[in-house]
Amino acid sequence: MENNLEKIANKIRINTIKEVYNAKSGHPGGSLSIADILAVLYFKEMKIDPKNPKDENRDRFVLSKGHCSPALYATLALKGFFSVEELKKFRNINSILQGHPDMKKIPGVDMSTGSLGQGLSAANGMAIAGKLDKKDYRVYAILGDGEIEEGQVWEAAMASSKYKLDNLCVFIDNNNLQIDGSIDKIINPYPIDKKFESFGFYVIKINGNDTKEIEEALTRAKEVKGKPTAIIAKTIKGKGVSFMEDSVGWHGKAPNEEEYKIALKELGGEADE
Amino acid sequence: MNNKEKKATRQSYGEELANLGESNNKVVVLDADLSAATKTSIFAKKFPDRFFDMGIAEQNMIGTAAGLATCGKIPFASTFAMFAAGRAYDQIRNSICYPNLNVKICATHAGITVGEDGATHQMIEEISLMRTIPNMTVICTSDDTQTRWAVNEIAKFEGPVYLRLCRLATPKIYENEKFEIGKGIQIGDGTDATIIATGVVVAEAIGAMKELRDRGINIRVIDMHTIKPIDEDIIIKAAKETKKIITIEDHSIIGGLGSAVCEVLSENYPTKVYRMGIKDEFGKSGKAEDLLKYFKIDKNAIIEAVTSKD
């Protein structure tokens, strides 16, 4: 039985495909892999109010792998931060929806990202500010598994641990693919769990395409005191569209009309008028 | 100018930052294992809860400052200019300037006047790097009074600022002068030449002005403490009123103050500009005073430039 969050994740996927198809560019593979995590965060976990996107007590989210903006934008639109109609203008010169997330232009985006490896540092800053101000908001971030090849991520990981940021929860989207191939063949970042553990994180390993497991992990993360949590989410790149699944070629490519129709059919979506 | 009361702008920065901490509790300070040298240690001692030593990890320091700024803090992030503007350039550009976040990057040990540490630690390209980034304001102070003003002013100013500070102790130039971001300070009103200077070499220019006066040559000095946005009016006025325009900086002649002045004049009042600075080469070890002489950015080099026939 498909639960409500799975339905939302599916809607995120349908809209992701539409955005990338309409823009004729963008990054579908990694967007589809994180749809379930975004669905749980935005529709179950996070304290956020689309009518008051700058509420200083809100939970924060940083999409460190900023190229997966189509999934984030779909999520924000479905949540009501802006109209679903705006998604049609993704990457358009007249749109707020930039290729990579822009916190100045897009309601609901807490940090501008795009240049890989920088999001965890920003999330740390938000979590430290929360502690300084004695606020109980939580900070979430999603990093790509290829992204953690950036050295800054580990600089940041040391700091998350030093400052005991138990209000911080980081997802590693472990779809095992980066543009040039499998992450273990390009420059192997495994074992990811042991690395984060040795950097002082509480580590949880889950199937990142299973909304139940995501929910449970987030509940556990909130109980952890004195250290940050890293959720290593095993996912399938391109999840939900058969020909995109586990295929490195769909990292940053838009489907043609035929592929678009097949993708929507598989996801149970309908093409826009 | 008081040669007896010499102080490095990094020292003035550290002292005034600790004062600012008292009046403004939004101010938080980050350093990358150099707090004793950048003088943020004074703030750290006074406000340990608002001081964050991020270790030898400048990229993360800059990114963390960005995150703090999104939550209403006013982060001052300090390390040597080489590692702030050089190592963490991408983070400054994409995590701070693109989202226009209210972070103050206060970089010490800029220029060849770092001295003995040599070329790897002598940042002479970063005025250029910083001023090309949209949203960034670039300030380079020349003495204690001006640095103390800058620390308070940039805390009130909303948006990213790069404050360039130096290690070499230099004379006190100002007492109660009023400063404004984006407005150069004209010192003297001679018409034989204008020396447009910034930072540590402003004192050299004032020294040259005094010596030249004894020889009957009257020049003016413009202390261009804000390099971006640059004071176009004061530059154009000087070009119209004086016979020669000379720029001087403890920085490469490519992309820094000299280039900024040329950009203004070539568009508004085409004038020959003589750029003094580091001429497309790296620095080297030595005493700061000796290096100023070696690289021809000291008082005597200015006198020579003013009096030469070209």
Using 50, 70 and 90 to split pLDDT, how confident is the model at B5?
A: confident
pLDDT digits (tens, 9 = 90+) for A182-198: 999 999 999 999 999 99
Give the three-class secondary structure for A199.
coil
Spatial contact of A139 and A126, defined as CB atoms under 8 Å apart: yes
Closest chain A residue to the Cα of B87, Cα to Cα: A152
**Cβ-Cβ contacts under 8 Å, A119 against chain B:** 63
Is pLDDT above 80 for B195? yes
Pairing label, strands B161-164, A229-234: unpaired
Is pLDDT above 70 for B43? yes
Spatial contact of B122 and B82, defined as CB atoms under 8 Å apart: yes
What pLDDT, on a 0 to 100 scale, did the predictor assign at position B1?
A: 76
| A265 C-beta neighbours (distance < 10 Å), count | 12
Query: A125–B94: do the CB atoms touch at under 8 Å?
Result: no
Using 50, 70 and 90 to split pLDDT, how confident is the model at B270?
A: very high
What gap in Å lies between CA B257 and CA B253, rounded to an integer? Answer: 8
What gap in Å lies between CA A47 and CA A55, rounded to an integer? Answer: 10
| Facing residue for A103 by CB, picked from B49, B65, B99 | B99
What residue ranges define each of the domains in chain B, with the CATH number in brackets?
Answer: 2-172 (3.40.50.970), 185-307 (3.40.50.920)
Is pLDDT above 70 for A1? no
Spatial contact of B219 and B242, defined as CB atoms under 8 Å apart: yes
pLDDT digits (tens, 9 = 90+) for B232-250: 999 999 999 999 999 999 9
What gap in Å lies between CA A233 and CA A140, rounded to an integer? Answer: 14
Fill in the amino acid letter for A41.
L
Is pLDDT above 70 for B172? yes
The phi-psi region of residue A91 (left if phi > 0; otherwise alpha if psi is between -120 and 50; otherwise beta) is left
The C-alpha torsion from A175 through A177 and A182 to A188, rounded to 10°, is: -70
ipTM at complex level: 0.97
Using 50, 70 and 90 to split pLDDT, how confident is the model at A2?
A: low
| Facing residue for B64 by CB, picked from A115, A117, A124 | A124
Element (H, E) at A234: strand A229-234
What residue ranges define each of the domains in chain A, with the CATH number in brackets?
Answer: 4-267 (3.40.50.970)
The C-alpha torsion from B196 through B168 and B18 to B102, rounded to 10°, is: 50
Nearest to A251 by CA among A176, A168, A164, A170: A176
**For chain A, the helix, strand and coil percentages under 3-state DSSP, each to the nearest 5:** 45, 10, 40
| Facing residue for B99 by CB, picked from A112, A128, A159 | A112
**Cβ-Cβ contacts under 8 Å, B89 against chain A:** none
What backbone torsions phi and psi does residue B185 show, to the nearest 5 degrees? Answer: -110, 120
Best of B49, B52, B54, B70 to mutate (most A CBs within 10 Å, chain A): B70
DSSP B204-216: HHHHHHHHHHHTT
